[in-house]
A and B are shown apart, each in its own frame.
Chain A
């Protein structure tokens, strides 16, 4: 798992900011896009700040492309200006007094190229990102999507060995976001070094990242491929993001005793110990009366606490043992006359439950 000397990024460090401590260990290979997902205040930006050299680590070290760039043990530290790191900031931070071309030429010039050479380097990047027509504009006259591309061009023009993107799409409106996201994906796959993409948008992380890290309260609570994380979330935060019901419990063969009360029948694979059970909201069936004999192994009463209209379905928020989010069609809501306070019965097939070991119970 080591990428030392191979152009990759290796972090095993603690970063302190006031009372807050971030402790992470991660490795990113060249060409890999690591999505860093987490709620506000989880330490995502602190991580990027440490990688960029804007915040020194308090313990541990960071190695980039085989070279130590920060080591609290030995005191080695490469200043931000000396790190081959491209940073696309959340609000882009384009220099308002410089034109698009000058913004993109900033890094080549700062890194020692003459004015003409820097302009030539910048114009290549402008061309590559389709910005040539905007070269003379000031950042104040750009749309959100254009500004995002300029920020990316400016970061890439310094020929970084590591690319950092802090919520690169959060400043965009929903209409342009998907287009820009697809385009960003193409540019990221062209980038040769490792890339860290901080986001709190699960879709962005799923689409753009090869690997996901979930940060909560300054530590990594889950890591895996986007598919793994989306299918088997390790915390309530991720479960909410990907829209799954997640229950912690203790498995004993064919039954899981849930930590919050209640029990679920699962397919018996001889699993024992602490587990998570994930259930899709569309896999739970709602009935107005207690269902008769059925193949579904889980049946429990619940009370409707709330209804939310989603795009083409209604999401029911149900209190019960266990509580659940369930998606039904608007027609079902009308036929069963579902409203807040209604008593209903929920059923779920054992085979629709995804059961997997709980991370906290595993040695990390």
Chain B
């Protein structure tokens, strides 16, 4: 029989914590703690730098400069438009992926989620090759309807939708898969057609995930850079969104760049707060 180890000291507070939560000591072992602190510093210090260097006194002026305002307005409406488009066409696709059963379904899901991992600039090139003036679709849009998409605000919306919609689709598809089919069965026995079930039962039940997916989609669209600059260019007031404006302003007007960055940072924080129930708690959504 071996003897117990020499006693260490347990504060009253730690005693209470362990009694309340149960379990043994939860303090991190030293070999994990040090790298963890390095990671925190790496992630947080640059953001702190942004706050430290911010031209707080002239912030208002930097943001109301005509270029900055134009970029802000353009970004807000294009991100919102691409979110609406994603909802209108992405939610039905999520339903088909979650509930349908057809050959090639897995391939389709892979294709749909590809933009998540694709470098956005590649997406921009692809859009240009499809919808550009000489693209295989753009050619006909141009010759038949006189429509030219690249380097217009429409192109901005398309680039943002291309990159952001998969975020909405996978969020909604996941919610549809984990939703209790019992409610839909109950609705069917009450005489509801499949469309009524979708509208009055399925959608309301996954509303939290729908909201989260839409917020995520909007945030991703707002921050879109690579696909947008490739497909839509950077014409101030027309296609120059906030991230692109930040990129150019960094050389010409660093204060404006920092001010715009702060706005994007603030938006990100708000998005996190909106999504906190789903992600920051870890584990699955309620």
1/0 per position for A13-37, CB-CB distance to B under 8 A? 0000000000000000000000000
| Shortest Cβ distance from A79 into B: residue | B188
Interface check A97, CB cutoff 8 A: yes
Interface check A125, CB cutoff 8 A: no
Interface check A54, CB cutoff 8 A: yes
> Do residues B189 and A80 form an inter-chain contact, with CB atoms below 8 A?
yes
What's the least CB distance linking A50 to chain B, in Å? 12
Q: Which one of B110-118, B200-208, B239-247, B255-263 contacts A? A: B200-208
What's the least CB distance linking A100 to chain B, in Å? 15
1/0 per position for B180-193, CB-CB distance to A under 8 A? 00110111111111
CA–CA, A231 to B194, complex, Å?
47
| Shortest Cβ distance from B192 into A: residue | A110
| Shortest Cβ distance from A164 into B: residue | B189
A95 interface neighbour in B194, B196, B201, Cβ under 8 Å: B201
> Do residues A110 and B187 form an inter-chain contact, with CB atoms below 8 A?
yes
Which residues of chain A in 81-115 are interfacial with respect to chain B, using CB atoms and an 8 Å cutoff? Answer: 81-83, 85-87, 89, 91, 93, 95-98, 106-107, 110-111
> Do residues A158 and B185 form an inter-chain contact, with CB atoms below 8 A?
no
Q: Which residues of A contact B200 (CB under 8 A)?
A: 106, 110
Q: Which residues of A contact B187 (CB under 8 A)?
A: 95, 106, 110
Q: When A93-B182, A95-B183, A110-B196 are in contact, do A87 and B189 touch as well, CB less than 8 Å? A: yes
What's the least CB distance linking B178 to chain A, in Å? 15
> Do residues B190 and A106 form an inter-chain contact, with CB atoms below 8 A?
yes
A80 interface neighbour in B182, B185, B201, Cβ under 8 Å: B185
By the criterion of a CB under 8 Å from any partner CB, how many residues of chain A are at the interface? 25
> Do residues A106 and B189 form an inter-chain contact, with CB atoms below 8 A?
no
A52 interface neighbour in B189, B193, B196, B204, Cβ under 8 Å: B189
B193 interface neighbour in A53, A110, A155, Cβ under 8 Å: A110
Q: Which residues of B contact A53 (CB under 8 A)?
A: 188-189
| Shortest Cβ distance from B196 into A: residue | A110
> Do residues B193 and A89 form an inter-chain contact, with CB atoms below 8 A?
no
CA–CA, A53 to B187, complex, Å?
12
| Shortest Cβ distance from A52 into B: residue | B189
Q: Which residues of A contact B188 (CB under 8 A)?
A: 53-54, 79-81
Q: A81-B189, A87-B186, A155-B189 are in contact. List 11 more A-B contacts (CB 8 A).
A: A54-B189, A81-B188, A89-B185, A95-B204, A97-B204, A106-B187, A110-B187, A110-B190, A110-B192, A110-B193, A110-B196
Interchain residue pairs A-B with the least CB separation, the first 10: A107-B190, A110-B192, A80-B188, A93-B186, A87-B189, A110-B191, A111-B191, A97-B204, A93-B182, A52-B189
Q: Using CB atoms and an 8 Å cutoff, list the residues of chain A in contact with chain B.
A: 52-54, 79-83, 85-87, 89, 91, 93, 95-98, 106-107, 110-111, 154-155, 158
